[in-house]
Structure 1
């Protein structure tokens, strides 16, 4: 569809009219070439929401070869603060796996795995056995699906997760319930962890961890259940009961950290505090605990160097529109200043034209004018955006700002793609394949549409993207290059999944006899994840150990501070954290950041994912919930 009303705004009728795919693609290619010819390719932006692992083509390949730094993922809206917790304790930036089949105590913290987790069927299958074999506790303000069936529900006051986590840690230490095998012990065997008392660091001998006594002295010694109860709304008796339950079940404990505990201002330290419990209990990489992930049989994105011209090399290195790495926006993904996305700040960057103006954007599987906090900023930003193309399965709030609307195939039923996942010690490479013919004239969002755009760009004298796609994404069975968008959709998924259905995959998992066999099976499964494979100094942290005192975070914060010619205390203050000095490097309690006085605004809004969404996009349709 094409917009015929130049005015944009909330409630403004776009007056869309039907057009051909040819006209739509020509319009998009013309806009892209205009920016390239004027030396402004950085002013093109790609916005993605949820995605399959065919994302590389539209998100990375097309954007980078074209010559823009602005491929912006939704990840900071999704789970980056959650990942912060695992990375700055055990060095893993990503979702953890949980060995729930062998757990004796499971804490679902800020998540609802029976309702909206990526692996809902896997948890439903195992949940009956979990209830029989383990104690299940749920920490969530809302009586959600998993909480209704759990043995313990802890209806925490929103934002107080760090208080509860540090109180649990306090009880585990004062009761002597930490894992001696993983953490270590006092040299004389006498427990010196007493409420309010400083402990000599030299008295404790650590094994697989770093900085336990520092953590106690800086934070935990005063975090008693009596202190936490009024903050969290959880009775001290329940805090003690759950903490002791975890300690007695250790190391077969899984503290399942979800976004509810972390995806908020000051949430990074809450995530660290919650995840640190796994280290304290010796559950990391252990039976019934929290795990890394087994190797997955899939190819990486091809190297792009030979397809990058001078424009792409120069403009692709410019600052991104989300302002990541600015003083107030460290985005410390992977320990690097500006290492991660800040999707919700894109609107601010667009409105401020800082570091420059965005003149053209393509979005897919996203609806930021609805799903982002402060959505009014997005409405204003989209109003002033000169050109926007939306690739979508359904008209949404964001679609109303589009100049061109490109209808996409439905992922579950009509599309070639694949996804990578893990659950209960096994990693998966699952094939998504068309099971019905589309009723309408729709196309693959992540593969077919970029290929068709590449053809149009080639017609206009820029063939680099087309050359990359036809040369690098050949059919691994025949060696043929794709000639059409639909062939590219098929060949590209065969390229990425080739290890799963070849000898490479058989070395680390299922033996699958070629593409046809893979299509019939629909999934490749790994060999089971090996326990304790990161013990013995193999954690990807600065110390190579599980860090209660995070040298990894210390290095990252200092690096960001030096970049801005200041110190870590100033950075923390700028980012609205209360910690100072050494306190900044341990998991600790931060009081919730909120606008307005509690007396004037007594309620805290808690959102949740509908069980109907399955990680998909949504929009403001009240009947959807009826």
Structure 2
């Protein structure tokens, strides 16, 4: 099936050739912020390139910013970075418009209208940082002095490692609250699950695309929104047209995405059936003897059993003629293969997979053979396959198992070079109040029977605050987050921010969350601040540290999240000795400033440079190579097809069958601990709501933060040559059934709510799906973001992958009709 991309040369040049926002017509070169973007308009008497970083995703890519006469005018990749090959993705360029956006918050603001709501004018009044910080400090002291520090909640959004270490972790622990809540569980927590279940460490996997011969992506938008985006894009170009053999690429997804448009083959599976597809492939790999013997192992040469046969169980051992017990199958670097086969995989044939996925069994067989024979191969899962209720973790586990069967683990999968920072200069101290507070149950219920291995359950916080469970919340500090927009069932968060007596929002724009705040604190943009970070996931055999440093002087009276944490620690330290001890001297020999803290924490990195700190500032990045592991972090020290890690977690919590029902796991017995298929779960009766809502992140979406950028808006949906809105994307067959034409305004309705959108009729959408890009539909953010398109999160139901706490984004049935 051929698909035409409608962005022509003229349209492309209109976007790619933008020298500044002035070229978009609706802005004037007379505006100061536009002058800074208009390259070439003014002669540069002083010009330099400053190394810093991007926080557009957790790739934390190194950048270089061209600064002319004190103004940032251009961004490019940092040539000193091996792991990004000196490149950046399109998101990085948005840093210029974020920096010079006239809609930024320019000074602290105080709410004067006590009534809160979308239709309420907050009555913002400009105040000083002294007044803002004094007010916040007083509120935090009141909680602590009455022995209830746990009633303070920190809501983290986008971050770098420095702010995560200090404001998210150290500050909240020193203060005494267990409630540091990150946005991670509305991002990709369940994608980590397959690695955790099989290899024992809970983190993102790295993929060496450069050396792969075959790549199959299950719902991972590698070239749009899958970490690290820059690394993936750069590697993809080389893999597909470089000096080595061209790698084959297959995309499995109900939606024909930008990534799918670059694939050799697009497989539109039924929504939520990725695991079935992967398990069907695994069955073929074993029954046809295509597994990698060096990694997985093989049948004992004297065993009476020599292969895997559909439907036939295999004894784990046999008796020799001498009467001794021997293993039937000698596993090399894996554990539990025969148990997996016996309890589940022997009966899960490609034909069963075909019934679940609607992909022909012959296609599944062919792809399994290609994948196994083309070694080294990579199977990657992402948000599209893993952000499902009940089954998300198992989907990730099933896909990861393909990498083990093909022998790709520690060859082209799991590459994660370690990046170490120097120890913090002073130890964390806790007084009795802090110790007791941090022992209290966390408000998100992580690490309980409800969410057995979750490190955070972002979206559950809203429901628990609304019901005062396990205690009331009195103060919220939200920073670089916008949960009133970015979460499933987002309206609940508006109710939260109405309910909590005192809300502070530290951000760059007056967002959907901000309008409910009592105090707004203006944040520095990525290229105005100090920090450090290293990429989550890798796209090759190297990784490193990115140094964030101010490329230009702060444009407004703003502070970074790192500076905010240091300031709050200092102020509270005047009243509580333990907090003072936790923050005084935190910058070591370099001063208790943001720069001093970053310099102290990265000392282990920059000591490797002959020129030390100054050379690190000039280069802006370090590089580390990966050495393959010889053992894993599982109890068996092997890759586990039978997850001892998951079993130990459930046993520690005394999980019963009733408990499994509550967290939407239908498997029982040993099947729970092997890669298996759980049927997708939906909110809404299929008779009333016949279509599945599938949302996705476009390239230029940064959790909704980038939508006041005209550049991002102009090319928001490049597949359709459409900007400034999102669309309700449906198949022609679906459109005809419901009497809808391309361009019609329609309602998309679920049990949760109803939104309006413009229909896009497109062959690249599964007939049982409505697909919508996430990020538009702001009711506040700035003049270029407000009231454009619709927010599909507003009609998405609230469910979870309970093992990891990941919010389910693909769980809602909808109906459509003309508006």
If the length of structure 1 is used for normalisation, what is the TM-score? 0.90
Residues 1:313 and 2:401 are matched in the alignment? no
Identify the range of structure 1 (29-38 vs 237-246) with the bigger mean alpha-carbon deviation: 237-246
The answer to whether the 8 A contact 2:704-2:776 is kept is no
Matches within 5 A, 1:28-177: 28-54=136-162, 55-132=164-241, 133-177=246-290
Counterpart-to-counterpart distance in 1, 2:194 and 2:705: 26
Query: Helix, strand or coil for the counterpart of 1:293?
Result: coil
Deviation at 1:291, TM superposition (A): 2.0
Deviation at 1:463, TM superposition (A): 4.8
Counterpart-to-counterpart distance in 1, 2:623 and 2:568: 35
Counterpart-to-counterpart distance in 2, 1:179 and 1:149: 29
Residues 1:14 and 2:113 are matched in the alignment? no
Residues 1:498 and 2:603 are matched in the alignment? yes
The answer to whether the 8 A contact 1:65-1:304 is kept is no
Indicate the structure (1 or 2) with the bigger Cα radius of gyration.
Answer: 2
Deviation at 1:494, TM superposition (A): 0.9
Query: Which residue number in structure 2 is paired with residue 611 of structure 1?
Result: 699
Counterpart-to-counterpart distance in 1, 2:643 and 2:382: 21
Deviation at 1:617, TM superposition (A): 3.7
Residues 1:256 and 2:380 are matched in the alignment? yes
Query: Which residue number in structure 1 is paired with residue 344 of structure 2?
Result: 219
Deviation at 1:301, TM superposition (A): 4.4
Match of 1:530 among 601, 611, 627: 627
Q: 1:594 to 1:191 in 2, by over 3 A?
A: farther
The answer to whether the 8 A contact 2:426-2:585 is kept is no
Residues 1:456 and 2:571 are matched in the alignment? yes
The answer to whether the 8 A contact 1:470-1:481 is kept is no
Matches within 5 A, 1:582-597: 582-597=670-685
Counterpart-to-counterpart distance in 2, 1:77 and 1:409: 24
Counterpart-to-counterpart distance in 1, 2:365 and 2:345: 15
Counterpart-to-counterpart distance in 2, 1:456 and 1:222: 64
The answer to whether the 8 A contact 1:454-1:463 is kept is no
Counterpart-to-counterpart distance in 1, 2:606 and 2:704: 28
Report Cα offsets for 1:560-582 as digits up to 9, x if no partner. Answer: 12xxxxx4422211111101111
Residues 1:550 and 2:655 are matched in the alignment? no
Counterpart-to-counterpart distance in 2, 1:300 and 1:616: 34
Report Cα offsets for 1:493-548 as digits up to 9, x if no partner. Answer: 1122111111xxx4xxxx4531111111110001x2123x23xxx21101111110
Match of 2:530 among 407, 412, 416: 416
Matches within 5 A, 1:265-344: 265-266=389-390, 267-286=392-411, 289-301=412-424, 304-305=427-428, 307-330=429-452, 332-333=453-454, 340-344=455-459
Task: Give the CA RMSD over aligned residues.
Answer: 1.9
Query: Helix, strand or coil for the counterpart of 1:256?
Result: strand
Q: 1:615 to 1:120 in 2, by over 3 A?
A: farther
The answer to whether the 8 A contact 1:2-1:19 is kept is yes
- Give 1 or 2: higher helix fraction: 1
> Structure 2: which 5+ runs fail to align?
1-108, 318-327, 707-774, 779-783, 790-819
The answer to whether the 8 A contact 1:65-1:312 is kept is yes
Query: Which residue number in structure 2 is paired with residue 196 of structure 1?
Result: 311
Query: Which residue number in structure 1 is paired with residue 73 of structure 2?
Result: none
Report Cα offsets for 1:384-425 as digits up to 9, x if no partner. Answer: 1000100001121111111000010011x2111111124301
Query: Which residue number in structure 2 is paired with residue 516 of structure 1?
Result: 614
Counterpart-to-counterpart distance in 1, 2:395 and 2:234: 30
Query: Helix, strand or coil for the counterpart of 2:194?
Result: helix
Q: 1:520 to 1:163 in 2, by over 3 A?
A: same
The answer to whether the 8 A contact 2:570-2:583 is kept is no
Query: Which residue number in structure 1 is paired with residue 709 of structure 2?
Result: none
Q: 1:113 to 1:223 in 2, by over 3 A?
A: same
Deviation at 1:621, TM superposition (A): 4.4
Residues 1:579 and 2:667 are matched in the alignment? yes
The answer to whether the 8 A contact 1:105-1:249 is kept is yes
The answer to whether the 8 A contact 1:501-1:518 is kept is yes
Query: Helix, strand or coil for the counterpart of 2:254?
Result: coil
Deviation at 1:159, TM superposition (A): 0.9
Deviation at 1:57, TM superposition (A): 1.1
Query: Which residue number in structure 2 is paired with residue 336 of structure 1?
Result: none
Q: 1:600 to 1:346 in 2, by over 3 A?
A: same
Q: 1:480 to 1:285 in 2, by over 3 A?
A: closer
The answer to whether the 8 A contact 1:108-1:138 is kept is yes
The answer to whether the 8 A contact 2:195-2:397 is kept is yes
Counterpart-to-counterpart distance in 1, 2:676 and 2:426: 42
Deviation at 1:169, TM superposition (A): 0.6
Deviation at 1:191, TM superposition (A): 4.4
Q: 1:299 to 1:423 in 2, by over 3 A?
A: farther
Q: 1:356 to 1:304 in 2, by over 3 A?
A: farther
> Structure 1: which 5+ runs fail to align?
334-339, 483-487, 562-566
Q: 1:614 to 1:386 in 2, by over 3 A?
A: closer
Deviation at 1:551, TM superposition (A): 1.5
Match of 1:210 among 335, 342, 349: 335
Report Cα offsets for 1:447-479 as digits up to 9, x if no partner. Answer: 1112222343345x23543443231222xxxx2
Q: 1:301 to 1:219 in 2, by over 3 A?
A: farther
Counterpart-to-counterpart distance in 1, 2:601 and 2:610: 15
Query: Helix, strand or coil for the counterpart of 2:442?
Result: coil
Counterpart-to-counterpart distance in 2, 1:525 and 1:249: 30
Query: Helix, strand or coil for the counterpart of 1:472?
Result: coil
Report Cα offsets for 1:274-333 as digits up to 9, x if no partner. Answer: 1111111111101xx20241121422445644x211111111211111122333222x15
Deviation at 1:593, TM superposition (A): 1.0
The answer to whether the 8 A contact 2:505-2:517 is kept is yes
Identify the range of structure 1 (20-29 vs 201-210) with the bigger mean alpha-carbon deviation: 201-210
Matches within 5 A, 1:553-572: 553-561=646-654, 567-572=655-660
Query: Helix, strand or coil for the counterpart of 2:419?
Result: coil
Matches within 5 A, 1:426-445: 426-445=542-561
Residues 1:598 and 2:686 are matched in the alignment? yes
Counterpart-to-counterpart distance in 1, 2:150 and 2:278: 44
Counterpart-to-counterpart distance in 1, 2:686 and 2:587: 57
Deviation at 1:209, TM superposition (A): 0.7
Counterpart-to-counterpart distance in 2, 1:467 and 1:587: 48
Identify the range of structure 1 (363-372 vs 198-207) with the bigger mean alpha-carbon deviation: 198-207
Deviation at 1:554, TM superposition (A): 1.0
Match of 1:401 among 512, 516, 522: 516
